[in-house]
Structure 1
Amino acid sequence: MNSIAVDQLQERLRLLQERFFERARGDIETLSGFARLIDQQQLPHSELEKCYKLLHRMAGSAGTFGLPELGQSARVIEKQLKALLESAVSADVAGDEFVSVSAEVASEIRQLARLLEKAPDVVTTAEVSQAKAPAAAESYDGAHGMQVNVMALGYSLDYLPGLVKSLAVYGFVCESGSIDHPDDVAERLRERANASILLCVDSALGDVMDFREQHLPKAEHRRFPVVCIGHESSFDSLYRVAQQGATAYFCEPLDLPELAERIESLALERGSRPQGRVLIVDDDVELGEHYCLVLKQAGIIARLVSDPSDLMSELSAFEPDLVLMDVQLRDFSGVTLARLIRYEQRWLGLPIVYLSSEDNPENQLDALSKGADEFLVKPVTDDYLVRSVRIRCYRARQLSDLMNRDSLTGLLKHSLIKQEVDRELARCRRAGHTSCVVMLDLDHFKRVNDTWGHGQGDIVIRTLANLLRNRLRESDVIGRYGGEEFLLILPDCEPTVAVKLIEAIGRSFAELVFWAGDVSFQVTLSAGVALINDFPVSDQAIEAADQALYQRKRGGRNGVTLYDPSPVGVKS
């Protein structure tokens, strides 16, 4: 985070804390009025409930704004009042009836004012700096939309260059570096805007891990997974490699498609950006805005809903990966809202995490049984909040991918890729740009399955999926249409450009060598390209690309054909 961003963050945190102090003074003045009624034994049941809610809010937010003692004291009183409220409900006490409250509670309430007086009127720059939100972790868009860099590291590089050359065919940007010149290698890695994977042999693994530790910033370790190549597959050798910290291990003879797929998956795993979308439901505006600021600074998209009546419309508009919700929201119950959210089928799998000062395990379990998934107890530190949200968003997206993506390739399923063509056609009409749809098919794929087996056929399909992700832009959309067929959407792309791009991908794919035991084989692909703008509905654009594909098949395969809407037909 640069100095300007730090200053802006500090200023926003300072303003939020000022607002909290101002509100806390007003709350304590109100609480002092309740204390006077307690002394006079004239506190109505309805006012006791108001007193409890103010203390609940203070217990949950004071620690976040640098006043942990105030929050802890408020929580102690809150628990006493909660017990009284539960007893009053059991006794069917009316709202205007007086409730007997110990004079000690009134004294404890007055102590809150003294705890607040200890706080500074405004926070200093140093204090804000210490409390600033965790910085966004280094994240990259992965291989889909940007090249993945593979850096082979070692002392003797006689072996690795050949492997690097083989991997380059898969679309990776590959290079070699010597550990004898660590400063040079570190500088080259830091210059890379793309996700980088380190590759080494097992004999150099220890030195490569030391290099990563000493020459790469710790915050960037997640950018540089280490893939180790070795000669042994015994448990002892695998354990030794894992103990040294390697992310992945491959034993010779190498399965290049599998190695390329693993590199691709590591890049995608560390490249998902943004890191999540979080809807925060909290009636404490200052606290909710603080959470939003902290999460946004960490690279997470966050939105606050302070009025529960807006919750359902905000869910539809924002489509979050996670909901963080207080259990008590003035006149509303977070437990009831969680149940309400589950009424809609689309939100049945949406993770809901209660963020509340409720720390009674039995009460937590009771609340969880009514529609939520987990509890985070207020106050939470900024760092703990960010880490918790990242983990939960990552898991939520994993589950979403299981439902929406093809299990073999990780690409969009048939129905979803067709929906994306619909959306792109609508965007073309709105923005007036030109986009293409591509139907792509593996040549003689039945022969591959019949000759080498379906396992080898799956490897070929996965390899093509990885190559497509590696060579296409982030804005391009890829789906597995069925079997060995793929459907691509290339937004803002002229047909002639699309043809040249797919031809280049086809040449790269044809160079790849697949192995079935000691026997090798190669596979080619055919493709049809159609201009989405030429059709009134998306299904017709897909059909046109399919017609162009089969024209290519009839014309000899291993190439690309552009659909021509004129009566003449298609262009090869």
Structure 2
Amino acid sequence: MDTQELTLEEKLKALRDTYGAQLPSKLAEVTEFWAHLCEQSWDWTITENLHRSVHTLAGSAPTFGFTDVGQNARKVEHVLKEWIANQTSPTESERHTISALITTLTNVTTIPKRESESETDTATSAWTKCQTDTHLIYLVNKNHKLAIELAAQLSQFDYRVKIFNDSSNIDTAMKMERPAAIIADASGDLSGILLIRGIKALYSASIPVIFISKYNDFESRLQAVRAGGDAYFVEPLDINPLIGRLDQLTQNREVEPFRVLVVDDDHSLATHYSLILEQAGMEVAIVTDPRNVIAMLAEVRPELILMDVYMPVCSGLELAKLIRQQDAYLGIPIVFLSSETNLEKQFQAMRMGGDDFLTKPITDKNLIASATIRADRSRTLNTLMVQDSLTGLLKHTKIKEQLAMEVSRATRTSTPLSFAMIDIDHFKKINDNYGHLTGDRVIKSLARLLQQRLRQSDSIGRYGGEEFAAVLPGCPLENAKTVFEEIREAFAGLIFLHDGKEVRVTISIGIADASHYLKPEEINHAADEALYKAKNNGRNRVELDLHKDVTHSH
């Protein structure tokens, strides 16, 4: 962790040094523009170039610690802005005023203030991720048999469980290895309640706690709340809601980093934003030429665009409107980053397609917070549109789109690709015998198991009803078979409860790979045929498509 912080500090220092080395030429450019205006008849093109130069300085200089340069550039910018707005040549007195301001600007110290470094260090260290084992669970229960059974169920969902039948060893264990969560028995003499109170007092109150109890009365639940419990389940346990709550509390599933596109013609400033956001765990792409934005949108698929307002070629306002012309990008939030302080112009920017306006200079902490809030909201809205409401998996149309995209990529790069079709065996009987609520729990359990056992790079969808599909890029057929054999066995080991009775369910799986197929429809059909073979051969098995008698469609 120290190495990562040091690396970031070195990168930011290199950016400051580079900016500081370039600053004299930037100030010389301001002086040159002003000299041209004083020597010739008033030229509005040169005036706008001068305005752009001081506007850029006002926004970028404070970010790299040159606060005085930024403040003085801002004063020049305000005067020039009025002249440009009125399109009236300045009087002799006004020229003397601006000349004095530019002299002050160009003579100001170019040594960055150290405060900016400490502010950056504080902001980034506050966002540094804690290295925690999100799979380790402490299970505290005097009933050893029940603890063994529950641990076996939890292990099917990739949790590693340590069992404690009393509190004698848990203190030593806590000092050695911190768990992601604690599941404790709250029944009987409230020993579990007292234990958790002690742990919360001695260690971090942030460790999530789930209580299990025989009792469902108000007083028992209140005691659990007062002890710091985050969830409460009554025996006999249904594993599905318990796992769901455990996933939420531990954030056990890996979260894909937010994707951000930074559009700013000032490369140093764009790089600074990129480093700060990457340190916060985001994936960032930079565009300094507005003409390259559309191509980058298709490649990066950003969940947030951070855009400067004043740029050459076209303004940020024009670029936002251009982006909004395409339906595919209507939902991507655009946040303008500019030193523009005029509220009317900020509102105009948002009317042109922006979602928010942040004023430069912006602290690293505020930049991270603003980007996180907007990207998270964007992802949530997108999720509602493309994901199945019951399982959280991709909808039928979306998983087929993912298959088509990955088949194209596999063909282009000559890399392996496997596609699996998964079906719950005798699902109609489950609904008929145990009801649709039990059927929904079975479907959600399989969805969660697939999410936990497959990679973040894999795509999983609910194909329809009790049928699922998974796209595994870079995965050869035999490797996919090994993975899905493990998933099949894990699912068969799950226990579902209905009226106190245990219910077990199995799945059948068919897998095909893209090496013998040119079109997504072909590999889809091949996996479906393999699934049909699995069902015909007795169910609860994995079958592969072996490319027999394959003819390609050209």
- Both structures adopt the same fold (TM-score exceeding 0.5): yes
Separation in 1 of the partners of 2:478 and 2:79? 74
Q: Does 1:149 align with 2:135?
A: yes
* 1:199 aligned partner: 183
* 2:300 aligned partner: 318
Separation in 2 of the partners of 1:242 and 1:552? 48
Deviation, 1:435, is 4.4
* 1:506–1:330 Cα change, 3 Å: closer
* 1:335 aligned partner: 317
Q: Is the 8 A contact 1:200 1:208 kept in 2?
A: no
* 1:514–1:308 Cα change, 3 Å: same
Q: Is the 8 A contact 2:210 2:229 kept in 1?
A: yes
What does residue range 41-440 of structure 1 map to in structure 2 within 5 Å? 44-88=43-87, 93=88, 97-98=89-90, 101=94, 103-117=96-110, 119=111, 128=117, 131-132=120-121, 134=124, 137-138=128-129, 149-152=135-138, 162-176=149-163, 181-182=170-171, 184-189=173-178, 196-200=180-184, 203=193, 204-210=195-201, 212-213=203-204, 225-229=208-212, 248-266=231-249, 271-273=254-256, 275-330=257-312, 332-429=314-411, 434-440=416-422
Q: Is the 8 A contact 1:153 1:208 kept in 2?
A: no
Q: Is the 8 A contact 1:43 1:99 kept in 2?
A: no
How many equivalent residue pairs?
A: 537
Q: Does 1:478 align with 2:451?
A: no
* 1:30–1:539 Cα change, 3 Å: closer
Deviation, 1:269, is 7.2
TM-score by length of 2: 0.83
Please give the per-residue CA displacement for 1:187-219, whole angstroms capped at 9, x wherever unaligned.
4348xxxxx4443456244444445528xxxxx
Deviation, 1:24, is 2.9
Deviation, 1:139, is 8.0
* 1:217 aligned partner: none
Please give the per-residue CA displacement for 1:75-109, whole angstroms capped at 9, x wherever unaligned.
24423332332222xxxx5xxx5566264443333
Q: Is the 8 A contact 2:141 2:185 kept in 1?
A: no
Q: Is the 8 A contact 1:425 1:533 kept in 2?
A: no
Indicate the SS of the match to 1:557: coil
Structure 1 window deviating more from structure 2 (59-68 vs 19-28): it is 19-28
Indicate the SS of the match to 2:521: helix
Deviation, 1:418, is 2.5
Deviation, 1:519, is 4.2
Q: Which amino acid aligns with 2:346?
A: Q
Indicate the SS of the match to 2:177: helix
Return 5+ residue gaps in structure 1 as ranges: 191-195, 215-220
Separation in 2 of the partners of 1:310 and 1:48? 27
Deviation, 1:6, is 4.5
Separation in 2 of the partners of 1:207 and 1:109? 66
* 1:200–1:103 Cα change, 3 Å: farther
Please give the per-residue CA displacement for 1:147-195, whole angstroms capped at 9, x wherever unaligned.
96141265968675553333223342222466865464354348xxxxx
Indicate the SS of the match to 1:486: strand
* 1:167–1:28 Cα change, 3 Å: same
Deviation, 1:243, is 8.0
Q: Which amino acid aligns with 1:61?
A: S
Deviation, 1:266, is 4.7
Q: Is the 8 A contact 1:56 1:74 kept in 2?
A: yes
Structure 1 window deviating more from structure 2 (102-111 vs 178-187): it is 178-187
Indicate the SS of the match to 1:329: coil
Q: Is the 8 A contact 1:277 1:321 kept in 2?
A: yes
Q: Which amino acid aligns with 1:152?
A: Y
Q: Does 1:15 align with 2:2?
A: no
Indicate the SS of the match to 2:455: coil
Separation in 2 of the partners of 1:156 and 1:43? 89
Deviation, 1:65, is 0.8
* 1:558–1:78 Cα change, 3 Å: same
Which structure would you say has the larger RCO, counting Cα contacts within 8 Å and 6 or more residues apart? 1
* 1:77–1:152 Cα change, 3 Å: same
Q: Is the 8 A contact 1:139 1:271 kept in 2?
A: no
Q: Which amino acid aligns with 2:99?
A: A
Separation in 2 of the partners of 1:392 and 1:51? 34
Q: Is the 8 A contact 2:37 2:43 kept in 1?
A: no
Separation in 2 of the partners of 1:344 and 1:161? 56
Q: Which amino acid aligns with 2:57?
A: M
Q: Is the 8 A contact 2:253 2:452 kept in 1?
A: no
Indicate the SS of the match to 1:328: coil
Return 5+ residue gaps in structure 2 as ranges: 187-192
Separation in 1 of the partners of 2:361 and 2:232? 42
Q: Which amino acid aligns with 1:356?
A: S
Separation in 1 of the partners of 2:107 and 2:46? 23
Q: Which amino acid aligns with 2:497?
A: W
Q: Is the 8 A contact 2:140 2:182 kept in 1?
A: no
* 1:443–1:53 Cα change, 3 Å: same
Q: Which amino acid aligns with 1:22?
A: A
Separation in 1 of the partners of 2:392 and 2:155? 22
What does residue range 445-524 of structure 1 map to in structure 2 within 5 Å? 445-491=427-473, 493=475, 495=477, 497-524=479-506
Q: Is the 8 A contact 1:148 1:470 kept in 2?
A: no
* 1:546–1:314 Cα change, 3 Å: closer
Please give the per-residue CA displacement for 1:96-128, whole angstroms capped at 9, x wherever unaligned.
x556626444333333234335x25xx88x975
Separation in 2 of the partners of 1:226 and 1:532? 45
Deviation, 1:466, is 0.9
Paired-residue identity, % = 34
Separation in 1 of the partners of 2:543 and 2:536? 11
Structure 1 window deviating more from structure 2 (348-357 vs 260-269): it is 260-269
Please give the per-residue CA displacement for 1:20-74, whole angstroms capped at 9, x wherever unaligned.
2233323333444666789999754444333322221122112111123332333
Separation in 1 of the partners of 2:129 and 2:140? 25
* 1:533–1:357 Cα change, 3 Å: same
Separation in 2 of the partners of 1:286 and 1:349? 28
Separation in 2 of the partners of 1:245 and 1:376? 39
